[in-house]
Amino acid sequence: MNAPYLPDMSLKGKLRRRATRFADRKPLPAFARRYVSFTFDDFPKSSAEHGAAALEFHNLRGTYYACTGQLDTENHFGQLCSAKDIQKLANAGHEIGCHTENHIDCAVSHPAIAESEARRNRLVLSELGVREVRSFAFPYGDVSFASKKTLAASYATLRGVQPGINHQFADANQLLAVPLEGDLSEADYALSFLRGLANKPGWLIFYTHDVREDSSDWGCTPVLLQHIIAEAMKMDAIIAPVSEVFKQISQEAQS
């Protein structure tokens, strides 16, 4: 098994990540309500099974950002999803989002490559019966100026991995998202953002990868996910997939 690819962690990379947040922005409107989305990147079979089960227990749905070039393969997240997993999730009402075909680093790839990777991924998803792909997440959370601009043309939202709650003026083309990692003993980090949301309306997006007992460093246990979902349920929040939340807040802004 190959070691996980690590994005550019140099000072230059960090500065670019910060700077792209100020380019090609799509500012969110003011929030009258609280919203929470649960999202899964890449995504492994374990999140298709345990993640979906945890959400469906409460009749909730999540967003799964898929890389169709990785179907039926295995990496540090365990066994990745199959075409059938995507179809099953979509049929159950979960959102299928785009994460490029081969999980490319959009910060160092030419924008034409990022665009064709995204387009091919959407094509395979449509062949699998996914009717509309409205949401995109940057692999490694990273993007260049040029690729952000190109990708923004094809999706309602683009999501990064910069932690935080999305309030008014947050960028729908680089949505903030909070990692859900580890076991129940590490719940406090995620809970601190739920407390932040309780204090002020906005949109809190969680993301994780594998959901299993022996989770990777980028995944979480089923118990942690269940706990965070249960805590979110106690709040007066709308819990829905990313595209659904974006639609609702856009409609509210117009009414």
Binding site for Zn ion (CB under 5 A): 41-42, 139
Nearer to Zn ion, 7 or 29 (CB): 7
Q: Least distance in Å: CB of 76 to Zn ion?
A: 11
Pick the closer one to Zn ion by CB: 208 or 221: 208
173 or 208, CB closer to Zn ion?
A: 208
Give dist(CA 19, CA 62) in Å, integer: 29
As to burial, measured by CB atoms within 10 angstroms (0-12 exposed, 13-18 middle, 19+ buried), residue 2 is exposed
Q: Cβ closer to Zn ion: 104 or 194?
A: 104
Q: How far is the CB of 139 from Zn ion (least distance, A)?
A: 4
Residue whose Cβ sits closest to Zn ion? 41
C-alpha–C-alpha distance, residues 252 and 239, integer Å: 16
CA angle 147, 26, 14 (to 5 degrees): 50
Q: How far is the CB of 67 from Zn ion (least distance, A)?
A: 7
Min dist CB 8 to Zn ion, Å, is 15
Secondary structure letter of residue 70 according to DSSP: G
What's the min distance (Å) between Cβ of 68 and Zn ion?
A: 13
Distances (CA, A) of 111 to 89, 106, 117, 146: 30, 8, 10, 6
CA distance 1 to 75: 6
DSSP symbols for 100-146: -SS---BTTS-HHHHHHHHHHHHHHHHHTT-----EEE-GGG-B-HH
By beta-carbon proximity to Zn ion, the closer residue of 28 and 142 is: 142
